[in-house]
Each structure stands twice: as C-alpha cells, then as structure tokens.
Amino acid sequence: MTNSRPLNIPVILGTTRKGRMSAHAARFMAQRIQQRANVMTELIDITEVPMPVDDAGDGIKDPAFAEKMTMADALVIVTPEYNHSFPGLLKHVLDSCLKEYIHKAAGIVGVSAGPFGGVRAIQDFLPVIRELGLVNIFWDVNFGNVASVFDESGKLLDQAFIKRADKFLDELIWMAKTLRYGRDNITLDS
C-alpha cells in the first residue's frame, strides 16, 4: 500500500539558551522544507515542551510532543555544540519518547560559534539517534562561525547554505519516503 498523505518533517530547535543562534538555523531549515511539494513542517522549540527534571523517559512524556513525534516521518534536529557535545536538555526531551521514532529518518544540523559547525556534537549524537530507532542520513548541515552566516535578525548572509540545506533535504526526504513505505508495507510477521 502507498498513501498520499504529505510527508511530515518537523524541525526541532534543540537549545534553550538565551540568545541562541541555532534559532536562526532552525527557522532557515523550516523555510527550506516549506519549499518542497507535499511536505509539511513545523518548528518545535524544546523551550516550549514541558519537561520536569524529577523523572525521565516515559515518566515525563508530554502528550503534545509525543503526538508530533508520532505523526512525523522524519526529524531535522538542530543542535548547537556546547562543551564538545549536544545539549543535555535536548536529550532529556528526546528520551521521553521511543516507539514514536522507530524506523523514521533523522538529519542533524550542527551550529557553532567557532569554525567546526557542531561536528563534535553531531558525532556524539549518532549513537543516541541509533538507539532511539531513528535512521540517520549521511548529509549534515554545519553552521560554523554562525554569527557570520546570519545577521542578528536571522537574515541569511551566506547563500551557499541554500544548496547545502537542499542537498541535505533531498536525502532526508528520500529516506523518509523509503522508511514510510517500509513501516506501512514490510512486516516482521510471516
């Protein structure tokens, strides 16, 4: 069976810090997704996901966030690099779901003030993505020296990122379609 419902690819803004430049990157990625036919998106800001810190995992699952993950076909996760890794609060939010992610595509967007564009955060993230049941693509987008990529209002200053983001999305959409077909049609039951 194939179905025609639009692909759903939300963008997760994975930091809660004040003055976060990752917000510009997340909005830019959502805008690029909006250019695609038959693909819907929304920006999910983890600041707006209620997450107690006196428990973890399923025990603090937010129904609204879980529903968004249920209906997603793929995720774009925008993460800054803090002390050579991704934010703990991003993992705290992601860890609240599991079945909602399984056999869905993920692409990671790294952001850093320095030149490396979050590559260490992304490398740290890969085993987490795998254990959550997500399938990571081999394209990343790396916003290094982010203060020179966006101005303070979020306007893109370096047009090269349009092509980089679009190549990333080409691969992510292919993987999302493929995995949706598998989820819908290929069974473990004989």
Partner 1 sequence: MAKSKMICWKCGNEMNHHADKLIYPSEGREAANFDASLGGLVEETHGCPGCGAVASRIAA
Chain positions contacting partner 1, by CB under 8 A:
1, 3, 5, 8, 57, 70-71, 73, 98-100, 102-103, 133, 180, 182-189
- Give 105's DSSP letter: E
Q: What minimum distance in Å lies between the beta carbon of 16 and partner 1?
A: 26
Spatial CB neighbours of 129, under 8 Å, sequence gap ≥ 6: 106, 108, 136
CB-CB contact of 49 with 18 (8 Å): no
Q: What minimum distance in Å lies between the beta carbon of 68 and partner 1?
A: 12
Nearer to partner 1, 170 or 184 (CB): 184
Kind of pairing, strands 104-111 and 141-143? parallel
Nearer to partner 1, 57 or 154 (CB): 57
Nearer to partner 1, 35 or 70 (CB): 70
Q: What minimum distance in Å lies between the beta carbon of 42 and partner 1?
A: 15
Spatial CB neighbours of 134, under 8 Å, sequence gap ≥ 6: 75, 101, 102, 104, 105, 106
Q: What minimum distance in Å lies between the beta carbon of 175 and partner 1?
A: 15
Q: In Å, how far from its chain's centre is CA 12?
A: 5
Nearer to partner 1, 98 or 156 (CB): 98
Which pair of tokens denotes residue 112?
């850093």
